[in-house]
């Protein structure tokens, strides 16, 4: 007995039906306007670290790049400085790079004489490359790993 293969004609008919429906249902449109240089999809300016002032509260989620000691670490993300952002705070136990973490705290500037850092910061942390840059003094740090 010969078996009838209906798959090919059915697929071809379905494709023809879909193509005809799409052509019939597509309204005539005006040409799309030129795309502007606005990088944010909503048209609202992105709030990067550069937009924040000293004393502003901030919450950010980024990748843990380096742990300098138990009181200081560096995070990286596309809207943070290329060298990363120094965060003064405690990394949750067992969290290692490249863990995703969320930090909440206050924006500060690390003065050239290292004024403004917490008195109990361990002196072993190499934070001198972050002098005269914005940092975050964290009050909460959460690991997503």
Nearest 5 degrees, angle CA 8-CA 12-CA 18? 145
111 token code pair: 């003065």
Judge whether residue 62 has pLDDT over 90. yes
CA atoms within 13 A on the CB side of 64: 26
Q: What is the pLDDT of residues 21-35, one digit of tens each?
A: 555 554 555 665 554
Alpha carbon separation from 28 to 2, 24, 31, 46, 58 (Å, rounded): 48, 10, 10, 34, 46
Q: What is the pLDDT of residues 92-132, one digit of tens each?
A: 999 999 999 999 999 998 875 555 565 556 565 677 788 88
Give pLDDT, residue 38.
46
Give pLDDT, residue 17.
52
- Write down the pTM of the prediction: 0.63
Contact 94, 142 (CB under 8 A): no
Class of domain 49-143: mainly beta
* Residue range 80-93: mean pLDDT, rounded: 90
Gap between the Cα atoms of 127 and 35, Å rounded: 42
Cis peptide before 98 (omega within 30 of 0): yes
* Residue range 49-72: mean pLDDT, rounded: 90
Give pLDDT, residue 102.
97
Residue 34 has a CB neighbour count (10 Å cut-off) of 5
């Amino acid at each position: 007995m010969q078996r009838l293969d209906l798959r090919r004609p059915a697929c071809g008919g379905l494709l023809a039906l879909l193509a005809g429906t799409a052509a019939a249902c597509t309204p005539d449109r005006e040409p799309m306007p030129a795309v502007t240089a606005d990088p944010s999809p909503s048209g609202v300016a992105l709030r990067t670290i550069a937009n924040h002032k000293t004393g502003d509260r901030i919450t950010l989620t980024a990748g843990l790049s380096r742990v300098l000691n138990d009181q200081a670490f560096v995070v990286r993300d596309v809207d943070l400085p290329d060298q990363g952002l120094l965060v003064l705070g405690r990394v949750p136990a067992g969290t290692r790079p490249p863990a995703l973490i969320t930090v909440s705290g206050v924006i500060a500037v690390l003065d050239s004489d290292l004024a403004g850092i917490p008195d109990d910061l361990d002196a072993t942390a190499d934070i001198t490359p972050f002098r005269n840059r914005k940092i975050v003094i964290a009050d909460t740090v959460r690991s997503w790993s």
